[in-house]
Amino acid sequence: GNAKVHLYELMRKHTTMLVGGPAQFWVEPLTHNCFARVVRYCRERGIPVRVLGRGSNLLVRDGGIRGVVIHPSKGVFGEVVVEGDTIIAGAGVRFKKLASVAQKAGLTGFEWMEGIPGNVGGGLRMNAGAMGTETFDQVVEVTFLDEDGEIRTRNRDEIKAFYRNVPELRRSFALSARFIGSASNHGTIQQKMETSMGKRRSSQPLAASAGCIFKNPELMPAGMLVDTLGFKDSSVGKARVSLEHGNFIVNDGKASAQDVLGLIDQIRTKAKQEKSVELETEVQI
Ligand code: EPU
């Protein structure tokens, strides 16, 4: 009664890249306990279990996903509560929503989140960032389901967060988090949000994508590198390197995951051959 379950749910309906085959079992829990029960059930039986939020940083293969995919989005996972200068948000809350709740509450610090296409759960997992700020810069505490199937809350300083990677949240799943901002006036917040929006609109594509494909290597930003290597507008099947930004692959038709992977492979190979750079994907595959 605490979850909705679908069989063979197509992942291209749940990823911003609009590619990916079916998940065998698709589960939408409404409570933390239900989420925990599903994970424990799967782990006890050796059934693969994964979590998919907004699917905005994810490339699902055409063959789909074996086992269970948990999608925390409704019920407690969609709740947002403002408490003083902090905001508590469920894993299924969109970053855009957090930004607008913060604006209404007169809290500054959340403006950059307007440009993040994902949900809180995924943003925590990958320490999503933009405009020089990262998710964990604002995290106060995270409530998560740990590897033993227990629900725990941990303070920020007990969690190691790196550039686009929070290793602990690979097998532990974030359920909610408390973020901190500071009091400000609506005009200032509005202005910061518009600046962030403007920068994104002028440099990033609107077409279906998974955001940045590669992590920025030390040599130069990945977008600049892909650009320098001459890949802009080149394609494999229906997947194309964006003209607006070299680190975006856009799906401008009926691209398959295979098309996208083919393009990623070509770019990685050339970056290695010509610049000796090992490009690491930022999207999860
Ligand atoms: N550039 C090029 N050609 C391109 C793209 C970029 O020369 O095709 C140059 C730009 O002119 C600029 C530099 O590369 O000098 C960096 O580009 P940009 O300012 O767009 O930032 P980025 O490092 O490519 C990062 C994040 C983005 C985030 C933006 C804005 C990574 C991998 N990417 O991009 O995050 O939106 O900053 O803050 O860290 C994402 O995580 O999915 C993502 C898109």
Q: What is the pLDDT of residues 147-161, one digit of tens each?
A: 999 999 999 999 999
Query: Is residue 215 in contact with ligand 1, taking CB distance under 6 Å?
Result: yes
**Cα-to-centroid distance, 70 and ligand 1 (Å):** 31
Going by C-alpha positions, the residue among 112, 15, 108 that lies closest to residue 58 is: 15
**Ligand 1 neighbour 197 (Cβ under 6 A):** no
Q: Is the CB of 247 under 6 A from ligand 1?
A: yes
Residue 245 CA: nearest ligand 1 atom is: 8
Atom number of ligand 1 nearest to Cα 203: 20
Task: State the pLDDT at residue 190.
Answer: 94
Closest CA to 71 of 153, 138, 117, 3: 3
Ligand 1 centroid – CA 164 distance (Å)? 14
Give the integer Cα–Cα distance in Å for 76 and 155: 21
Indicate the top mutation candidate among 224, 241, 284 to test ligand 1's pocket, ranked by most ligand atoms within 8 A of CB: 224
Burial environment of residue 234 by CB neighbours within 10 A (0 to 12, 13 to 18, 19 or more): middle
Helix (H) or strand (E) holding 262: helix 257-275
Ligand 1 centroid to residue 109 C-alpha, Å: 20
- 1 pLDDT tier (thresholds 50, 70, 90): low
CB-ligand 1 contact for 227 (6 Å cutoff): yes
Using the atom order of ligand 1, give the atom closest to the CA of residue 248: 44
For residue 283, give both structure tokens.
């999207």
Q: How far is the CA of 182 from the centre of ligand 1 (A)?
A: 27
The two tokens of residue 150 are 């227990």
From residue 84, give the alpha-carbon distance in Å to each of 26, 92, 102, 181, 192.
36, 22, 11, 9, 21
Could you tell me the pLDDT band of residue 2, with boundaries at 50, 70 and 90?
A: confident
Average pLDDT over residues 219-244: 97
Q: What is the pLDDT of residues 56-110, one digit of tens each?
A: 999 999 999 999 999 999 999 999 999 999 999 999 999 999 999 999 999 999 9
Q: What is the pLDDT of residue 43?
A: 96
Q: Give the mutation target among 125, 212, 218 for probing the ligand 1 site: most ligand atoms within 8 A of CB.
A: 212
Q: How far is the CA of 168 from the centre of ligand 1 (A)?
A: 26
219 CA distance to ligand 1 centroid (A)? 14
Closest residue CA from atom 20 of ligand 1: 203
Atom of ligand 1 nearest to the CA of 163: 39
Q: State the distance from the centre of ligand 1 to the C-alpha of 245, rounded, in angstroms.
A: 7
Predicted pLDDT at 217 = 97
Average pLDDT for the chain: 96
Please report, in angstroms and rounded to a whole number, the separation of the first and last CA atoms in the chain: 32
ipTM over 0.90 threshold: yes
Give φ, ψ of 12 to 5 degrees: -65, -15
For 142-151, b where at least 16 C-beta lie within 10 A, e where not — what string?
bbbbeeeeee
> What is 130-151 written as a DSSP string?
ETTEEGGGTEEEEEEE-TTS-E
Per-residue pLDDT at 198: 92
Q: What percent of the chain has pLDDT over 70?
A: 100
CA distances from 3 to 9, 11, 144, 257 (A): 15, 18, 18, 29
Give the residue-averaged pLDDT of 274-283: 97
Residue 245 pLDDT class (50, 70, 90 cuts):
very high
- Distance separating alpha carbons of residues 20 and 30, to the nearest angstrom: 25
pLDDT at residue 38 in the model: 97
pLDDT digits (tens, 9 = 90+) for 3-59: 899 999 999 999 999 999 999 999 999 999 999 999 999 999 999 999 999 999 999
Q: pLDDT > 90: what percent of the chain? A: 95
Question: Do 1 and 31 touch, CB atoms closer than 8 A?
Answer: no
Pick from 75, 68, 126, 116: which is nearest to 95 by CA?
A: 116
Q: Is the pLDDT score of 175 beyond 90?
A: yes
As a whole number of angstroms, the distance between CA 189 and CA 101 comes to: 11
Pairing of strands 22-29, 65-70: parallel
